[in-house]
A and B are shown apart, each in its own frame.
Chain A
Amino acid sequence: DAKTTQPTSMDCAEGRAANLPCNHSTISGNEYVYWYRQIHSQGPQYIIHGLKNNETNEMASLIITEDRKSSTLILPHATLRDTAVYYCIDTFTGRRALTFGSGTRLQVQP
Chain B
Amino acid sequence: EPEVTQTPSHQVTQMGQEVILRCVPISNHLYFYWYRQILGQKVEFLVSFYNNEISEKSEIFDDQFSVERPDGSNFTLKIRSTKLEDSAMYFCASSDPGLAGDEQFFGPGTRLTVL
Contacts and interface: CB of A to CB of B under 8 A. Distances in A.
Interface of A: 2, 32, 34, 38, 41-46, 49, 87, 93, 95-102
A49 B31 contact: no
A97 B56 contact: yes
Given A32-B101, A49-B101, A96-B55, A102 B42 contact: yes
Q: Is the interface of B mostly helix, strand, loop or mixed?
A: strand
B89 interface: yes
Given A46-B103, A96-B95, A38 B31 contact: no
B65 interface: no
30 contacts: A2-B42, A32-B101, A34-B101, A34-B103, A38-B43, A41-B109, A43-B93, A43-B108, A43-B109, A44-B43, A44-B91, A44-B93, A44-B106, A45-B106, A46-B104, A46-B105, A96-B33, A96-B56, A96-B102, A96-B104, A97-B33, A97-B45, A97-B56, A97-B58, A98-B35, A98-B104, A99-B45, A100-B42, A100-B43, A100-B45
A99 B42 CA distance: 9
Q: Is the interface of A mostly helix, strand, loop or mixed?
A: loop
B107 A43 contact: yes
Interface string B29-56: 0010101000000111100100000011
Interface residues on B, range: 20 to 34
Contacts of B109: 41-43
B106 A43 contact: yes
A49 B103 contact: yes
Instruction: Name the residue in A34, A38, A100 with the highest tally of chain B Cβ atoms < 10 Å from its Cβ.
Output: A100
Contacts of B31: 96
B80 to A, nearest CB: 22
Contacts of B106: 43-45
Nearest to B42: A100
B9 to A, nearest CB: 11
